[in-house]
Amino acid sequence: MTDAASVRVGRLILWPAVVTLAVTLLRIVGELQGWSPRLFSREAGGGGALVGIAWLVPVFGAWFGWKLARAGERVASVGRALGTVILAFAAMPVAGFVLSKLGVSPFSPATLVGYAVVSVLALLAALRAWPALGRTILAYALAARIPVALVMLVAILANWGTHYDVMPPNVPEMTPALYKWFMIGLLPQMTIWLWFTVVVGGLFGIAAGAIASRGR
């Protein structure tokens, strides 16, 4: 990536990254203060709480696609790009089906590592759908997920009792802190959640970019 492209990406993701960090901080406060579980669930994985950064992915994905298209960074083929991203999205359910057929426990380290490997491969494929959008969303994904990984480390060491440090079912609670952080924090945040952001954001970004290009 050229210096100019890096500057454009940095400028484009700046405010989305700030908003995402603000939502992360609000989520931390809400869980620590025991606010509404519907908004700030403490369950492992987040429990689908309404306050969370995952909901921002389609919004900012569409925003990135729109802005890039209006700036002249058009997707070469909308159909091919969408097909690539859809296949990258389908890779994870397929991996889950295969692992279940192999009889691997859904919460075992082997399952998590398997998902991590598949997510990285699928992410790399998704980046090729629309390279300009892929670079932008990946940069945003890192800006969004690195703080979460660091928050999870603090939460685990301090034993907050939030969704940032609660282990999934059937996992021993006496797991060493750094191993626990690697398995439920660092590894998922830097693989599975990056995949989710790039793929889901990519779907909405490509659609928005296509609309913006047609409008011009």
* 27 three-class SS: helix
Which pLDDT does position 2 carry in this prediction?
Answer: 52
> Among residues 2, 1, 19, which one has the least CA distance to residue 143?
19
- Count the helix, strand and coil residues of the chain and give each as a percent rounded to the nearest 5: 75, 0, 25
Yes or no: say if 50 and 38 are a contact pair by the CB < 8 Å rule: yes
Instruction: Name the phi and psi angles at 18, rounded to 5.
Output: -65, -45
Which pLDDT does position 38 carry in this prediction?
Answer: 92
CB atoms within 10 A of CB 129: 27
Which token pair is 112?
């998590």
Give the whole-angstrom CA distance, residue 53 versus residue 190: 15
In order along its 216 residues, the chain shows pLDDT tens digits of 554 455 588 899 999 999 999 999 999 999 999 999 999 999 887 778 999 999 999 999 999 999 999 988 888 899 999 999 999 999 999 988 888 887 777 667 778 888 999 999 999 999 999 999 999 999 999 999 999 999 999 999 999 999 999 887 666 666 788 988 998 899 999 999 999 999 999 999 999 999 998 755
List of E strands, 11-103:
none
Give the whole-angstrom CA distance, residue 150 versus residue 131: 28
Yes or no: say if 206 and 65 are a contact pair by the CB < 8 Å rule: yes
Domain that holds residue 63: 3-215
Which pLDDT does position 22 carry in this prediction?
Answer: 98
Q: Is 104 left (phi over 0), alpha (psi -120 to 50) or beta?
A: beta
Which token pair is 120?
């990285």
Q: Which amino acid type is present at position 53?
A: I
Q: Report angle CA 191, 8, 199 to the nearest 5 degrees.
A: 30
- Total structural domains within the chain: 1
CB atoms within 10 A of CB 57: 26
For residue 16, CA distances in Å to 8, 11, 175 come to: 14, 10, 35
Q: Which amino acid type is present at position 101?
A: K
Yes or no: say if 134 and 202 are a contact pair by the CB < 8 Å rule: yes
User: Where do we find the tokens 């990406």?
Assistant: 9
